[in-house]
Amino acid sequence: MKSIKRRRQENKTDYQKRMRILKGNLPRVVFRKTNRHIISEYVVSDETKDRAEIGVTSKNLLKYGWPEKFKGSLKSIPASYLTGFLIGKKIIKGKKETPIVDLGMTRNIHKSKAFAFLNGLVDAGLKIKHDKKTFPEEDRIKGKNLKEDFSKTFESIKSKVEKE
């Protein structure tokens, strides 16, 4: 009888998927969603050792003008998009190799936070294979569906990230 590895049992690691990614020998952008934030890292693998070279969380958006009253929504679709946009700009600025996206064990539901993150990476200028049909609608990305219209704040944060 074969025992299941602990990280697989805890629903943290898909070892078959990880092996396919490591055999590709490309850097990857790791997307993780917690209960409060979006976390992303630019990871380079050397044999089986992973090294994070760039790390960005949605908490970084507070420096770019994310309002304090929306601090609880740092895991929303607009926050996810802006986090992807921010790490994409940092990858380009650091002249890093174009990565592949590693969504980990998150379910690939179209028009979700993971695909908003991917949309942010693509809009930042990274050449990643994608299908535009999987991205959330522009209104949802800009936050027009939130309790208060977030689109003006969204645009100001995006322009500050672009200038940096």
| Structure confidence at residue 1 as a pLDDT band (50, 70, 90) | low
pLDDT at 10 over 80: yes
- Residue 95 exposed, middle or buried by CB count within 10 Å (0-12, 13-18, 19+): exposed
**pTM recorded for the entire structure:** 0.91
Residue 70 to residue 82: CA distance in whole angstroms? 14
Angle at the Cα of 66 (from 61 to 68), degrees rounded to 5?
120
User: Which tokens hold the place of 115?
Assistant: 């695909």
Residue type, 76: S
pLDDT for the residue 43: 96
pLDDT at 29 over 70: yes
pLDDT for the residue 73: 87
pLDDT for the residue 87: 97
| Structure confidence at residue 14 as a pLDDT band (50, 70, 90) | confident
In the chain, where the domains are located:
9-163
The domain 9-163: what is its CATH number? 3.30.420.100
- With beta carbons less than 8 A apart as the criterion, state whether 102 and 29 touch: yes
